[in-house]
Amino acid sequence: MNPHERFHATLNHTLADRFPVDLIWPRKETTEALKRHFNTDSEEQVFKELDIDFRWISIPACYPDFAKRVNGRLDGVAPGPGREYIFHDRQRFEDHWGVVQRVGDDGKYLEWISGPLAGKDSLEQWSVPEVRYPFAEQIADAIQPYKDYVTITEIEFPFKLAWHLCGYEHFMTLMSLDAALVELLYDRLYDFQTTKAVLATMADFSSAWRTAYPMTLLSRISSPYMTR
């Protein structure tokens, strides 16, 4: 079976030749260790050596207001190395949602610091960020070299994003005491993410996944052309 056939069989609860294999969100030090093990400088070659069925490919996005304030990239081995952020100091940085995190002293982990809805009980002065995506045809061209594999792009899970915006304790309180506000927030986040998911389908990604912790919160939107 090829990766598409194997993935499709598994999703449909039919017998595949083996279980589909993924290397999901490896840390930078893990990827570098695998490169050394397989004596290669290529991450793609690592995937081939491990018979990985999936290729996670990001859809480029431009956030105009955020881009004007960006002042650096995240270095080191913490999650998201190489991404652009607004740095408040050497360890604290802000993303395009206005969520501030801090790199731990060991440089490996991130700590949530604040979000634009922390302590707020209204969405009156808050909106999702303006975003611009490439045309679907441009994205399709970018993923073409990986079409032998199951191509996936990540869609942010609204629950995780909501608590990052609000703070975990505050969001849990809102879920208990103000369900109408949580529903309104979810509506805005789902609308925002649905635009990206539809674009991924138009570009002929095999799947778009909403992801969060724990892994039990992972769900899927598949392209009708995934087995093509």
Q: Would 209 be classed as within a structural domain?
A: yes
Q: Would 2 be classed as within a structural domain?
A: no
Q: Would 19 be classed as within a structural domain?
A: no
Element (H, E) at 92: strand 92-94
Task: Classify the phi-psi angles of 181: left when phi > 0, otherwise alpha if psi is within -120 to 50, otherwise beta.
Answer: alpha
Give the pLDDT score at 215: 36
Q: In which domain, by residue range, is 163 found?
A: 57-222
Strand extents, DSSP E, 131-199: 150-156
Radius of gyration of the chain from its Cα atoms, rounded to whole angstroms: 19
Q: Would 186 be classed as within a structural domain?
A: yes
Percentage of the chain lying above the pLDDT 70 cut = 90
Q: What mean pLDDT comes out for the span 45-55? A: 96
How many domains does one find in the chain?
A: 1
Q: Would 116 be classed as within a structural domain?
A: yes
Q: Would 213 be classed as within a structural domain?
A: yes
Q: Would 123 be classed as within a structural domain?
A: yes
Look over the chain and give the mean of its residue pLDDT values, rounded to a whole number.
Answer: 89
Q: What is the pLDDT of residues 53-84, one digit of tens each?
A: 999 999 999 999 999 999 999 998 888 888 99
Q: How far is CA 108 from CA 72, 78, 80, 81, 216, in A?
A: 18, 4, 11, 10, 24
Q: Would 202 be classed as within a structural domain?
A: yes
